[in-house]
Structure 1
Amino acid sequence: MDIFTAARDFVRRDARVLERRLFATIFEGADPRGVVDALRGYQNADGGFGWGLEPDKRCPDSLPLDVEVAFDTMLAADARDEGMIRRAVDWLSGLANADGAVPLCGPAVEGYPRAEHITEWTYKPDMNPTAGLVAALYELDFEHPWRDKAEAWCASEVAKGFHEDAHGMLTMLRFLEHTGEADLDRVRDWLPKLANYRADAKSPEYGVTPLGFAPTPDSVWRPLFTDEQLDAHLDRLVADQQPDGGWAIAWEPPGPAATLEYRGIVTVGALRTLKAYNRL
């Protein structure tokens, strides 16, 4: 069975409704409004998103991490719901500190099952996820006073230096795509200093790979990497497909259901990357 067919069967069998709708939209021409409809079940009355939209915590409360996932899912589906977005950004505005920054999560997660890495460090306002949220709103072409305030804070943080973690660096670079300040040489020199960056395609360790920074050949950050580097990681991505058709994850979610949910997310993501690089 070929890569795509095996992955399709995994998504149809084991992924949650949201990823099935997203897969159908991206690869089968389904109406993107189905993705928005699936997202509605994760939006709370306060406008934020919760209910384990990002599966590493089962907390129903609204969290910025889940808002970011909602925005990115809409972008992946090329879908946009003005009311849904506005309610979420209004909620972010009410949560943000005086500078406009927001944290990934909050103490509410402590009352529910969660992965070991969802701890107090996620309660502190940071570039991750603030910069990613600002960038997503630009990509969604959605203006809001909170976006402007948070953008100013992100710019001041960038001026202080790059993030020390690969996940934070991802959000920072996504933000920089909208400021016209893509200093490739400076970024290239910084990459080896990042925690959780997996430069070696053969490494068994968890980490963000060059494909995370350049998920498509036309990415702003594609010139950071050689053809050989990207080809090696694409080969690894193909090789990492599991016998059941899905891709595995390198961390422990809070339970079997969350594990399958995250595998659905990364499987659709793997297919999107392979499609972009003409590997399907």
Structure 2
Amino acid sequence: MTSQSTVGNKALEFLRGHARILERRLGELWLRDPAPATAHAVLDALSAYRNADGGLGNGLEADVLAEESQPLAVDFGLEVVEQVLDRVGTEDVRAHARELGEGVLPFLASVAAPSGALPIVLPSFASAPHAAHWTENAFPLGLNPTAGIVARLRLLGLTSDWLDEAERFCRAEVDRALDGGPDGHTALNIVRFLDLTPTDPWAVAHAEKLAAGIDGMAHFHLYPAKGYGVTPLQFAPSPRNPRRPLFPDAAIEAHLAELAGGQQPDGGWTVPWQPPGPASELAWRGVVTVHAARVLAAYRG
């Protein structure tokens, strides 16, 4: 059996040779040096994707290579910010993260619907290189990505009129989504939103309702299966995550075994979809390699 230190070393070697600077820095943060300087380096790398309107774009989410700011890229970037704060929570790092979060608020307010809801992508994405599964009008306003973005901005301690409106939208939309049965990606956003107030009776009741229907969700694989799908390890990337009890031990172990077996000879992991080009494929391999290595380290390291 390959040791966890070998897995991590091979992953870092892949990242250093093939990944974007963002994922190289993030890999160092998770697998080597959880120091404030490394955390600042991740946030500095993320800032390179900012535009004059305060939003994030420029292919940060590597399936959509639009230069213009996109809610999709903001969602991706705020997830990176959350990872940084999960690893390093010093006052200076939190201040740096908060500054980054404050910067995206004007952009989000400018593209949101009157309800506060956000689309995943704006129409401008269609003129840029993008993966084939991203089609116009295929991703309407909704909890994905609004709920995840709202939750991560609130965790930074931010407030704004748009955030208040968007939070009201999310609370109403969670009721509707759980009645209809959310897909895996929407469920990830719901979980993130519910975690804002985990002891609130409203959040507790909705978390229980989500858990009751989680096995039958579309685009979700409780156990390893062919094709693309969200997995329990995305809901609970560490055994200490509050959502870990949603899933049976056998499901977690099956996905960990599959994840460990997915490391390629070059040290990285592959993606089960077709990105828009070779650079995007390498970018995504960097993203999923950081995820796989940190999850394996959390559960087995």
Bucket of the pairwise TM-score, normalised by the shorter protein: over 0.9
Aligned-partner Cα distance in 1 for 2:43–2:113:
29
Give yes or no for the alignment of 1:260 onto 2:282.
Answer: yes
Give yes or no for the alignment of 1:213 onto 2:235.
Answer: yes
Greater alpha carbon shift after TM alignment, 261-270 vs 184-193: 184-193
Name the aligned partner's letter for residue 92 of structure 1.
L
Q: Which of 180, 185, 199 is residue 222 of structure 2 equivalent to?
A: 199
Give yes or no for the alignment of 1:137 onto 2:153.
Answer: yes
Name the aligned partner's letter for residue 15 of structure 1.
A
Name the aligned partner's letter for residue 12 of structure 2.
R
Give yes or no for the alignment of 1:114 onto 2:130.
Answer: yes
**Cα drift, residue 122 of structure 1:** 4.9
**Cα drift, residue 17 of structure 1:** 0.6
The match for 1:44 is: 51
- Check whether the contact 1:7–1:245 (CA below 8 A) recurs between aligned residues: yes
- Check whether the contact 1:106–1:122 (CA below 8 A) recurs between aligned residues: no
The match for 1:16 is: 20
Name the aligned partner's letter for residue 41 of structure 2.
G
**Cα drift, residue 28 of structure 1:** 2.4
- Check whether the contact 2:8–2:31 (CA below 8 A) recurs between aligned residues: no
Aligned-partner Cα distance in 2 for 1:274–1:147:
35
Alignment of 1:164-183 (within 5 A): 164-180=182-198, 181-183=203-205
The match for 1:100 is: 116
After superposition, the C-alpha distances for 1:132-166 in whole angstroms (9 at most, x for unaligned) are 00111123232232222111100001122325210
**SS in structure 1 opposite 2:116?**
coil
After superposition, the C-alpha distances for 1:70-114 in whole angstroms (9 at most, x for unaligned) are 111122122442332212012101111111100110111111110
Name the aligned partner's letter for residue 147 of structure 1.
L
Aligned-partner Cα distance in 2 for 1:186–1:120:
32
Gaps of 5+ in 1: none
The match for 1:161 is: 177
**Cα drift, residue 219 of structure 1:** 1.8
Aligned-partner Cα distance in 2 for 1:189–1:84:
36
Name the aligned partner's letter for residue 101 of structure 2.
I
- Check whether the contact 2:11–2:267 (CA below 8 A) recurs between aligned residues: yes
- Check whether the contact 1:104–1:122 (CA below 8 A) recurs between aligned residues: no
Gaps of 5+ in 2: 86-92
**Cα drift, residue 119 of structure 1:** 1.3
Alignment of 1:224-239 (within 5 A): 224-239=246-261
Greater alpha carbon shift after TM alignment, 133-142 vs 109-118: 133-142
**Cα drift, residue 260 of structure 1:** 0.4
Aligned-partner Cα distance in 2 for 1:47–1:122:
25
After superposition, the C-alpha distances for 1:40-62 in whole angstroms (9 at most, x for unaligned) are 21000000000010000110000
After superposition, the C-alpha distances for 1:186-205 in whole angstroms (9 at most, x for unaligned) are 2232113311111222x222
**Cα drift, residue 231 of structure 1:** 1.1
After superposition, the C-alpha distances for 1:168-210 in whole angstroms (9 at most, x for unaligned) are 1110111111133134542232113311111222x22211111
- Check whether the contact 1:253–1:259 (CA below 8 A) recurs between aligned residues: yes
Aligned-partner Cα distance in 2 for 1:134–1:63:
15
Aligned-partner Cα distance in 1 for 2:256–2:227:
16
TM-score (normalised: structure 1): 0.94
Name the aligned partner's letter for residue 4 of structure 1.
G
Percent identical among aligned pairs is 40
Aligned-partner Cα distance in 1 for 2:235–2:44:
29
TM-score (normalised: structure 2): 0.88
- Check whether the contact 1:164–1:193 (CA below 8 A) recurs between aligned residues: no
Runs of 4+ in structure 1 deviating by more than 3 angstroms, as ranges, are 182-185
Give yes or no for the alignment of 1:146 onto 2:162.
Answer: yes
